[in-house]
Amino acid sequence: MKPLSKLALSTLSISVFIFFSACNFNQEKTPVEKVGQLSIDGVHLVDQKGKPIQLTGMSLFWSQWIGKYYNYDCIKWLKDDWKCTVVRAALAVGSGGYTTNPEKELEKIETVIDAAIDIGIYVIVDFHAHQAEFNLEAAKTFFGHISQKYGNYPNIIYEIYNEPLMVSWSEVIKPYSEAVIEVIRENDPNNIIVCGTPRWSQLVNEAALDPIDGENIAYTLHFYAGTHNKRLMEIGDEAIEKGLCIFVTEYGTTEANGDGPVYVSETLEWYEWMNKNKISHCNWSIADKAESSAALTIDADSLGGWGEDLIKPSGKLVRKELLKKYKQLLK
Ligand code: CA
């Protein structure tokens, strides 16, 4: 037999390399393949085997104002390059949102859901309102539709009320939540439902005194690192001690108005607190707005592919944490 020529040898080694690379690629599981059906066990969000996990990612901006990022390529970029294991689609309800243009806004949300399912990440379907108790019928219609269409997919997380104002948990938010949960549970018996809490989703301790009767219900705490400090962490601790599962569906590295400086050390303290308690989180926001909480520079491409020069300081700080958390989840 003739010895293999140099060319044949190098062709062979390249082929072998490509073959094994392809094998490795095929073996890499998506976050949803790895984690599977979520549930809540005590204060923890757990994977299909019952192990506590943390999902981490980015929130999109109000759908009616910055809808340009509600597309497949952007969501895929957020998974591939930002290593999001969850994204949040923020259905604007008022201010020209869903109650004005239901089909248009619904289409944006479904585009993000379909992308998340296709690429294997989780998606928070967020009813982005501050007075949702006045939009109960719209919420029931919306979540009835979403749960019927997507309730069999493990990817979906329902966030039924973004940020209530300073209203009573027991008198206002809890009855609203129970009415919406009832509609969802007719179609979807098990996916996670996240409830809003009083004072822009901060007073989880009030919900902890009078929790909702049901399975797989989490409660959201929102913080902005430049405004909210140790006192809000203590409120979170109180709720956890009473047995609530907290999900930070929205946080900012800035002040609560979404602007001002980026508070690096305060944000790192919040990461430490969330990591210690295994709390999942989404950062506000994927937006190209002239405010410091927006992750991207003005006119950053709608389809992703953002280089360093298009990512603002907040985005850089958050992305670093996301890369770390992705490795931990997928290891
Ligand atoms: Ca389900």
The answer as to whether 182 is a domain residue is yes
Please name the residue ranges forming H helices in 6-101: 6-27, 31-35, 72-80
pLDDT digits (tens, 9 = 90+) for 292-328: 999 999 999 999 999 999 999 999 999 999 999 999 9
| Ligand 1 centroid from CA 39, angstroms | 10
At residue 2, does pLDDT exceed 80? Answer: no
Query: Would you place residue 21 in the very low, low, confident or very high pLDDT band (cuts 50, 70, 90)?
Result: low
149 Rama class: left (phi>0) / alpha (psi -120 to 50) / beta: alpha
Cβ neighbours around 259 below 10 Å, total? 16
The answer as to whether 241 is a domain residue is yes
Query: Would you place residue 131 in the very low, low, confident or very high pLDDT band (cuts 50, 70, 90)?
Result: very high
The answer as to whether 116 is a domain residue is yes
- Note if 107 is an active site residue: no
Segment 107-127 shows an average pLDDT of 98
**What is the dihedral sign for C-alpha 118, 119, 120, 123?**
negative
Count the domains in the chain.
1
Beta carbons of 63 and 225 less than 8 angstroms apart: no
Which pLDDT value is given to residue 266?
98
Segment 276-299 shows an average pLDDT of 98
The answer as to whether 195 is a domain residue is yes
Domain extent for 166: 50-330
Which pLDDT value is given to residue 28?
87
| Ligand 1 centroid from CA 8, angstroms | 53
CA 117/CA 45 separation, integer angstroms: 20
Give me the DSSP letters along 279-303: --EEEEEE---SSTT-SB-TT--TT
| Ligand 1 centroid from CA 60, angstroms | 23
Catalytic residue among 163, 206, 255, 266: 163
| Ligand 1 centroid from CA 270, angstroms | 31
Beta carbons of 284 and 59 less than 8 angstroms apart: yes
The answer as to whether 319 is a domain residue is yes
The answer as to whether 25 is a domain residue is no
Query: Would you place residue 5 in the very low, low, confident or very high pLDDT band (cuts 50, 70, 90)?
Result: low
The answer as to whether 31 is a domain residue is no
CA 160/CA 195 separation, integer angstroms: 6
The answer as to whether 44 is a domain residue is no
| Ligand 1 centroid from CA 138, angstroms | 22
| Ligand 1 centroid from CA 135, angstroms | 25
CATH value at residue 60 = 3.20.20.80
- Note if 163 is an active site residue: yes
Q: Which helix (H) or strand (E) holds 219?
A: strand 217-220
CA 181/CA 183 separation, integer angstroms: 5
Catalytic residue among 105, 133, 250, 321: 250
Give the angle subtended at the CA of 53 by the CAs of 82 and 242, to the nearest 5°. Answer: 125
Q: 291: closest CA among 312, 307, 274? A: 312
